[in-house]
Amino acid sequence: MECEGILMGMGNPLLDISAVVDQQFLDKYDIKLNNAILAEEKHLPMYEEMASKYNVEYIAGGATQNSIRVAQWMLQIPGTTSYIGCIGKDKFGDEMKKNSKLAGVNVQYYEDESAPTGTCSVCVVGGERSLIANLSAANCYKSDHLKRPENWALVEKAKYFYIAGFFLTVSPDSILLIAEHAAANNKIFMTNLSAPFICEFFKDAQDEVLPYMDFVFGNETEARTFSKVHGWETENVEEIALKISQWPKASGAHKRITVITQGADPVVVAEDGKVKLFPVILLPKEKLVDTNGAGDAFVGGFLSQLVQEKPIEECVRAGCYAANVIIQRSGCTYPEKPDFK
């Protein structure tokens, strides 16, 4: 495969501030497990409180960046992937640049002068995670940066694009620029439902980019929320996956495939009017560290095989492998080399 820069991601680069907390902390800040939200005024003191009360780890994060890094790790060929997003000119931003370069990802960050690098508080209770993102600089991304010749060159070079739904809150015009390029040039464009709040409050922006999507990822909660806001009156994940796959497309070059994960339950794949179920690798409860990054890692593993034109079964198997590795570690981190056969 012609591999340099074959896979490109764009999203919100965030520094994860991760800690095992207690139920009292969740209640105090009105946080639900297995959810992802944007920080409001009431959440702002929690970052300090976490750092002072709990054992905190700082890990480079952000959904799309996680997926791209995992794909890069699975592929083991430096520079196979590229990533664009906005960071601040600060210590956290420098840390992020260093981390990503070490991971082998070709990052082209837009550096905002005024806002600090975005952070995401990861609250872990009993292995389950809840995410509260304070986007800061990540929210300042402008499509002018994407249009710069040196950055648009990454778009021209890539054959596969992945942008999680979270970026809809930041720069929908950047997403559409890439979507239109992908459709016009017969390339593969992919997204993620990302979080219930994206499906609920950014429905119009999501509906506008959906016709361009060749793959749609998500989990069972997001799929059910998507169904509810579109008035489909079904909670059946297989039915919902099928309906998303049959949503009209901007270009007829590729069919749409929907891939929905369900935690320990089988992965649902809908294509060509049919649904297939793929079992995941079950993990004994005592080996679970935290679920932070599990969905992102699944996508990263999946993409690592997709860009090699492997069949869907292999893509799902690699996704399950990567997710299984990540949930046995803190945050979206991985050992030096994968042992995926």
Q: How many CB atoms lie within 10 A of CB 43?
A: 17
Kindly report the average pLDDT of the chain as a whole number.
94
Residue 2 has pLDDT above 80, yes or no: no
Structure tokens at 335: 């050992």
Structure tokens at 119: 């952070």
- The single residue listed with the structure tokens 């409860």 is 285
The per-residue pLDDT for range 263-311, each reduced to its tens digit, is: 999 999 999 999 999 999 999 888 988 888 899 999 999 999 999 999 9
The pLDDT of residue 341 is 84
Residue 331 has pLDDT above 80, yes or no: no
The pLDDT of residue 285 is 86
Task: Give 55-89 as a DSSP string.
Answer: --EEEEE-HHHHHHHHHHHHH--TTSEEEEEEEES
**Percent of the residues in the chain that have a pLDDT greater than 90, as a whole number:** 84
Looking at per-residue pLDDT, the higher value among 332 and 223 belongs to 223
Residue 1 has pLDDT above 80, yes or no: no
**Integer CA distances (angstroms), 91 to 87, 88, 97, 182, 243, in order:** 10, 9, 10, 35, 45
Query: Taking the mean position of all CA atoms in its chain, how far away is CA 90?
Result: 24
The per-residue pLDDT for range 29-57, each reduced to its tens digit, is: 999 998 999 999 999 999 889 989 999 98
Three-class secondary structure of residue 314 per DSSP: helix
Cα 261 from Cα 137, distance rounded (Å): 30
Determine contact, residues 13/87, Cβ cutoff 8 Å.
yes
The per-residue pLDDT for range 126-161, each reduced to its tens digit, is: 988 999 999 999 999 999 999 999 999 999 999 999
Cα 35 from Cα 219, distance rounded (Å): 11
The arrangement of strands across the sheet holding 160-164 comes to 106-112, 81-88, 7-10, 160-164, 188-192, 215-219, 257-262, 265-271, 274-278
Q: What angle do CA 295, 333, 52 make, to 5 degrees?
A: 100
Residue 28 one-letter amino acid: K
The per-residue pLDDT for range 8-35, each reduced to its tens digit, is: 999 999 998 899 999 999 999 999 998 9
**Closest by alpha carbon to 306, among 60, 80, 83, 146?**
80
Question: Which letter does DSSP use for residue 42 in this model?
Answer: G
Report, as residue numbers or ranges, the catalytic residues.
Answer: 296
Determine contact, residues 154/10, Cβ cutoff 8 Å.
no
The pLDDT of residue 95 is 86
Cα 68 from Cα 322, distance rounded (Å): 12
